[in-house]
Structure 1
Amino acid sequence: MLDVAAELDRWCREGRDFAVATVVAVGGSAPRLPGAALAVDAAGTVVGSVSGGCVEGAVYELCRDALRDGRPVRERYGFAAPDGGRGDADDPFAVGLTCGGTLDVLVVPVAADAPWRAVVADAVSAAADGGPVALARVVSGPDALLGRALRVRPDGTYAGGLGAAGALDRVAAAEAAALLAAGRTGTVRVGADGGRCGEPVTLFVESCAPPPRMLVFGAVDFAAALTRAARFVGYRVTVCDARPVFATAARFPDADEVVVDWPHRHLDATEVDARTVVCVLTHDAKFDVPLLERALRLPVAYVGAMGSRRTHDDRLARLRRAGLTERELARLRSPIGLDLGARTPEETALSIVAEVVADRHGGTGVPLTGARAPIHRDPGEAGVRTGSYA
């Protein structure tokens, strides 16, 4: 639902009735990830997408039905053969996924009198403003709980209600806050009473967190290309260099921030988290070593450094003398990037971003042709998380 927060926020402010279909689980080679959403208002206006086209027609009708009867519904879509194995191939509203995957969709009506209307309006407003927010909803369990929603803030406070006299709310809020802190969307299984007893309940938690950060150290031509590529895949990019003649906004118009400072000093002063990416492009020991000495000891997602293999070997020796352990050094991606045969700054930027994306999603970086690994991996962001309460 937060996938289309800006449009839904406007619909709420305009007082429109609407229904939202959200992908809550996927299997195999499904076209969209959990959290993808399609919404339909009472006039039939559509925003968003749940499948890139495969089952949009059927989901549209489910939304219209939900608006009429006021009841949430969960539906699963599976494989449809090109010849119409699950419907008429000549029917534009035929149901099924030609990719061979499965897609679970939760459809929830959000009419003016819906008990979860205020919670949804609050959540989409916060997400539309770019603030951190999580929305937890019941997607399986007792029928009376289906579709109920909880809006959770980063500190774990919440609005709305799921049931079980508040016990389920408290557990759901704690789990949702943990997913929000990691910037993840996924499912959590708990007991309907909030503890280990009672009928199991599956909660779907959508997280809307600020974009992950990429810190690019070294104001070189490669950094300019990397900044463009990183922003394209959703990172908020900071470029830092101690040399003011190179670290200028004019040279890096695509950067969200350009900082003139010694790299290690800026890293000490800036905020990082488990999604932060650190790219060191200076390949100069006086910058690299104190910077990497700190970066490799921080709980960040990725640390990579540019340089030849000889530079890398020399860098490792200096870092060992600085006291880094072999386990800490094993986190360093150097030479940085995947082997694409890159030559130009743009090609090099592509190889670096490709490695960052592969690392983020558990990819191998090998060609898909001939490979037997799944095309769409699930490293945990969209998987089922069973907490200590399940």
Structure 2
Amino acid sequence: MDTLTAARSSLPAAPGGVRAVLEAAARGGADATLALVVETEGSTYVRPGAVALFGAEGGAEQVGWLSGGCLEPEIARRAAEAAAKGRIEWLDIDTRDDEDLFAGSAVGCRGRLHLALLPLAAMSGWQALLPAWREGAGALRWDIDTDGVVACTVAGASRHWRLATSRREDPEHRAWQRELPSPPAVLVFGAGPETPTLVPWLRRMGWMTTVVERRPRWSALAALADTPVSESPQAALSGQIRRFDAALVMHHHFELDREALQALAGSDIGYIGLLGPARRREDLFRVLPGTTRAAFQSRLHSPVGLDLGGQGPEAIALSIVAQLHAYRQQP
């Protein structure tokens, strides 16, 4: 089975990261509980704002991880209580005690997680905020206090609830605000041999993917993206309603790459990756207007990808995913 035939017979890879958790949470279910990390101390697997879903529908009991697997059984048990009672369960997991090391019950990390377990069935309407978040309108902000007041906000649109809560050891009134950034979005000009590895991996890292491809030969691979587009680069850019964090130019075709670069020169996309060696980049700049080179300045990554070694489409795709991940982690 060749690459194109395999693509036609496969489904796009499931998304990962925060995107996977929230999209699964939006599908709901009576037992769905969102675990939100509101506070951490010491060495922990995740940071404040991390989320995981317990009691998910569709055969997946859990989406997302808050530890290397050692803490999840206890979180799942308490999440089931939150869903059954329709109340916020507060869960404090502290693995900093030296006694655990000698008692044989240590789980590896030496830190503390403070979680709010939110019963989603008791928070009607929060799913209405998700499309704006997916489209890049803004972060999904959760405001929670120990009295059970919960608010969820995206780009000025909000939902509010007041829920019962479990008893906390610390009676002091506390409030937290945690923001979940919109998923990053990448615009890929050109499908090709790298696409079956590149697009699924970007989705698994939580990226929203759009592939622009007009050539019938590669249309099946473009369909692996969240949004396949069969228009010119200029039309694709002007027709998009969301802001892209990155763009990749990788047609393996000189004229189509030139057309894409010309369209991208007028965009404000902060990362633009160009597939191919430096000599090919220079050849492209010779046939582009003189203002184009200045327009790209520090945002053009060419050759695209980290130098990880190896060769072939899979190695190239891995190098691009790694570079995009590193780019997103910059302050």
Q: Which has the higher helix share?
A: 2
Q: 1:175-254 counterparts in 2 under 5 A?
A: 201-206=175-180, 212-242=184-214, 244-249=215-220, 251-252=221-222, 254=224
Q: 1:75 is matched with which residue?
A: 92
Amino acid at match of 1:246: R
The verdict on how the C-alpha distance between 1:257 and 1:111 changes in structure 2, with shifts beyond 3 A counting, is closer
The verdict on how the C-alpha distance between 1:26 and 1:283 changes in structure 2, with shifts beyond 3 A counting, is farther
Cα separation, 2, equivalents of 1:135 and 1:241: 35
SS at match of 1:221: coil
Q: 1:145-156 counterparts in 2 under 5 A?
A: 147-154=148-155, 156=156
The verdict on how the C-alpha distance between 1:294 and 1:97 changes in structure 2, with shifts beyond 3 A counting, is farther
Cα separation, 2, equivalents of 1:350 and 1:158: 38
Query: Pick from 108, 115, 122: which aligns with 1:98?
Result: 108
Equivalences, count: 293
Q: 1:286 is matched with which residue?
A: 255
Amino acid at match of 2:327: D
1:268 aligns with 2:285: no
Q: 2:282 is matched with which residue?
A: 313
Deviations 1:351-378 (A, max 9, x none): 111111111123xxxxxxxxxxxxxxxx
Deviations 1:185-216 (A, max 9, x none): xxxxxxxxxxxxxx995312346x5x543322
Offset of 1:273 from its aligned partner?
A: 1.0
Q: TM-score, normalised by structure 1?
A: 0.59
Q: 1:160 is matched with which residue?
A: 160
Query: Pick from 134, 152, 157: which aligns with 2:140?
Result: 134
SS at match of 1:84: helix
Cα separation, 2, equivalents of 1:356 and 1:23: 26
The verdict on how the C-alpha distance between 1:223 and 1:20 changes in structure 2, with shifts beyond 3 A counting, is closer
Cα separation, 1, equivalents of 2:229 and 2:116: 45
1:24 aligns with 2:25: no
SS at match of 1:322: helix
SS at match of 2:100: coil
Q: TM-score, normalised by structure 2?
A: 0.67
Cα separation, 1, equivalents of 2:282 and 2:120: 63
Bigger Cα displacement from structure 2, 123-132 vs 212-221: 123-132
Q: 2:4 is matched with which residue?
A: none
The verdict on how the C-alpha distance between 1:5 and 1:271 changes in structure 2, with shifts beyond 3 A counting, is closer
Deviations 1:23-53 (A, max 9, x none): 1244665324533235579xxxx75553233
Q: 1:35 is matched with which residue?
A: 50
Deviations 1:80-108 (A, max 9, x none): 66x823x832xxxx5x6513454332245
Conservation of the 8 A alpha-carbon contact between 2:233 and 2:260:
yes
Segments of 5+ residues of structure 2 without an aligned counterpart are 1-17, 163-172
Q: CA-atom RMSD, angstroms?
A: 4.3
Identity of aligned residues (%): 23
Cα separation, 1, equivalents of 2:75 and 2:133: 28
Amino acid at match of 1:359: Y
Amino acid at match of 2:212: C
Segments of 5+ residues of structure 1 without an aligned counterpart are 163-198, 363-378, 380-390
